[in-house]
Amino acid sequence: MLEDNSENLVFEIFPWNRNFETGIDLIDQQHKTLVEILNRLARHFACNPPELGCNRVLDELLDYAAFHFEEEEQIWRHALSDSRQTQDHHDTHQLFFAQIREFQGRQAPREEVLTALFKYLTRWLAFHILDSDRKMALTVQAVEGGDTLEQAKVWADKQLNSSASILVAGLLDIYGKLSALAIQLMREQNARLRVEEELTRVQQQHIRQALEEQASDYQQQLEFLAYYDPLTGLMNRNGIIREIKTTLQRDCSVEGEGALISLDLDNFYEVNARFGEEAADRYLGLLGRRWLDALYPGGALARVSGDEFVVLLKDGEQVHAQLEALRLTAGQACDLGGQAVTSSFTAGVVLFLHDSANDADTLLRQADQTLFHAKQEARGSWLFLEAGEQRQYRFRQKRLEELQQALHNDQFRLYYQPKVDLCSGELIGLEALIRWQHPEQGLLQPGDFLPSIEHHLIIVDIGEWVIEAALQEMRRWDGQGLRLNVSVNIAALQLLHPAFVRRLQAILARFPDIAPQRLDIEILETATLGDLDKATEVILQCEALGVSFSLDDFGTGYSSLSYLKQLPVQTLKIDQGFVLDSLQDNGNISILRAIIGLSRAFNRNLVAEGVETVRHGEVLIGLGCTVAQGYAIAKPMPAAALIEWKRTWKPHPRWLAASLQA
């Protein structure tokens, strides 16, 4: 046996055997070629599918024979000249050619020809090589040793005595059986290999299948954990959001309203405290299952956190009936460690149109907020989100997204309004006022978009943009030889943001050419600054950087005096309302007078806003306030318009006159 390169075990039916050897190396080497062809044929029979082309083997044999016989006969002729033996041997060779050619011409199925060939070659090996060739070789040996041809023949015959032919026949028989066995073995081996291959394939397929099944199990488990609450088996927050989304998409043509209910158990903390966490969890599971049974067809139930549940109803008309059903169910006692437990709940309800542009997160947030209000106003019962409120909420959400886009797409602009000394005409500074260049609605005023976001963190980003844009503009004006001070407005949320001072410092550091003293920050007096100590600290830290502060719209808040007393601001800006009304109402004049008095008492600078007319200016000058801002001086303008305004601006002659009188 030997291993072939396909790594399959292969039998050599005729392993090269010393008995085959003639003692003449050249001849033996060539005989080996024949043995190799024979083995190849044997392998062919063992193989399925068969590997050998019949004509190819026959051609090969003819080639082999033509070459080998020629060489061999030359050796015989050389030693034994044209003796009888040589001639006989030559004739046997010719018979071989004839036989092979006969095979070539045979009109029989390939396998039949190959089988006959195999048999013939085996016999050829036995009779010709083992017997005739060896005898010739021995004769040659004897002749070369000095014997006459006749003596040599006798000697050779003696060497391969008469029993040799019997031996050869016996050997042939054994080889015949052996080869049949070997071929059978090879067939079996091949069959076994095929079975093994098939087994491996099936096994791998099974393994793959098993792996796929396992993976899909994991997938299901993961999916379960992602969308379901393991405690109750109900959906979790993600699950119900997915459900709402599907409902909104699927039922978009359904008429009427759907409903989303957010509900919270009123007494769950008691259950927790009385029975322990484990029992309380069990109670949630029990209640969840009962509620699931009490659900209206097409409805969905989720547990979104601790003792908070969400119900989605396709038909908003069913809300009351559904809530009653849930209330009744929760009121039925559950047995917990031998004790009866019941609960009540509070709920917030949002009705939504299937065809509206609702989104699931917003609806759920609205339901949560309504629940929050319900807990304060209607504990143990439920509240509906008002349609108007819902619209406003949606508008705010949309605006917020738009503003984020606006920031990203650079749609904000700064307009500048001068603050001047009415008497000397000196330009004290500019107030930067934000505008939104809306792609569809045109230029929007701050009142159109700031109020909806003053409590949202985006106001901080916008505020930072304003500070940076103002500093950039100052740098540009500096380049044009115009050294201007600018004030910016910031929201309370930004001032109190923990990173405010650090970020302001970072922005200032990017403008080393602009002295921080030229920047003023306006904070609204009405702003809920909450903890005044905190605001004071921030202002002091900013002032340490060089930045100054103004208290905007002064006089409108309830705590003007305490703000004024505590906050270390340099400037008070009198709210435009007092100025505007000063012409009609003496009361307002008194307030103006009081504010001006206060500013002096507390040693603060003063700017009056809302100087819409020349008369307003005259009144203010008369009261001792000469620094002002208003339409009568200039409306807020784009930065580019400022140089031209400054070139032409002059205080009104009546203001000069008024100042002389004051």
**Which residues sit opposite 311 in a β-bridge?**
261, 301
Calculate the CA dihedral of residues 108, 110, 111, 114 and round it to 10 degrees: 100
**Among the listed residues 85, 630, 639, 659, the single contact to ligand C2E using CB under 6 A:** 630
- In whole angstroms, the minimum distance from the beta carbon of 403 to ligand C2E comes to 12
Q: Residue 22 binds which entry of ligand C2E, Mg ion, none, with Cβ cut-offs from 5 to 8 Å by kind?
A: none
SS3 state at 634: coil
Binding residues for ligand C2E, how many (CB under 6 A)?
25
Q: Is residue 520 at the binding interface for Mg ion, with CB under 5 A as the rule?
A: no
Supply 42's token pair: 């044997």
- In whole angstroms, the minimum distance from the beta carbon of 433 to ligand C2E comes to 4
Residue with tokens 């437990």: 341
Span near ligand C2E by CB under 6 A; candidates 331-339, 358-366, 445-453, 646-654: 445-453
Q: Is residue 445 at the binding interface for ligand C2E, with CB under 6 A as the rule?
A: yes
SS3 state at 257: strand
What DSSP assignment string belongs to 144-213? HTT--HHHHHHHHHHHT-THHHHHHHHHHHHHHHHHHHHHHHHHHHHHHHHHHHHHHHHHHHHHHHHHHH
Q: Residue 433 binds which entry of Mg ion, ligand C2E, none, with Cβ cut-offs from 5 to 8 Å by kind?
A: ligand C2E
Q: Are 256 and 316 in contact (CB under 8 A)?
A: yes
Kindly tell me which of 22 and 489 has the beta carbon lying closer to Mg ion.
489
Q: Is residue 520 at the binding interface for ligand C2E, with CB under 6 A as the rule?
A: no
- In whole angstroms, the minimum distance from the beta carbon of 447 to ligand C2E comes to 5
Let me know if 559 is exposed, middle or buried by CB neighbors in 10 A (0-12, 13-18, 19+): middle
Angular region, 456: left φ>0, alpha ψ -120 to 50, beta rest: beta
Strands 257-265, 548-554: parallel, antiparallel or unpaired by DSSP? unpaired
Q: Residue 235 binds which entry of Mg ion, ligand C2E, none, with Cβ cut-offs from 5 to 8 Å by kind?
A: none
In 10 A of CB 209, how many CB atoms? 10
Q: Residue 447 binds which entry of ligand C2E, Mg ion, none, with Cβ cut-offs from 5 to 8 Å by kind?
A: ligand C2E
- In whole angstroms, the minimum distance from the beta carbon of 552 to Mg ion comes to 4
Q: Residue 105 binds which entry of Mg ion, ligand C2E, none, with Cβ cut-offs from 5 to 8 Å by kind?
A: none
Kindly tell me which of 464 and 552 has the beta carbon lying closer to Mg ion.
552
**Among the listed residues 224, 296, 393, 631, the single contact to ligand C2E using CB under 6 A:** 631
Span near ligand C2E by CB under 6 A; candidates 4-12, 192-200, 477-485, 624-632: 624-632
Supply 244's token pair: 């709402």
The CA-based angle 77-81-84, given to 5 degrees, is 100
Residue with tokens 């540009």: 476
Kindly tell me which of 260 and 490 has the beta carbon lying closer to Mg ion.
490
Q: Are 346 and 371 in contact (CB under 8 A)?
A: yes
Q: Are 274 and 377 in contact (CB under 8 A)?
A: no
Site string for ligand C2E, 487-506 (x = CB under 6 A): --xxx---------------
* Contacts (CB under 6 A) with ligand C2E, residues 591-610: 609-610
Q: How many angstroms separate the CA atoms of 578 and 553, rounded? A: 10
Q: Is residue 617 at the binding interface for ligand C2E, with CB under 6 A as the rule?
A: no
Kindly tell me which of 294 and 551 has the beta carbon lying closer to Mg ion.
551
* Contacts (CB under 5 A) with Mg ion, residues 590-649: 609
Kindly tell me which of 240 and 492 has the beta carbon lying closer to ligand C2E.
492
Residue numbers of the site for Mg ion (CB under 5 A)? 489, 522, 552-553, 609
Binding residues for ligand C2E (CB under 6 A): 417, 433-434, 445-447, 450, 463, 466, 489-491, 522, 524, 552-553, 576, 609-612, 629-631, 636
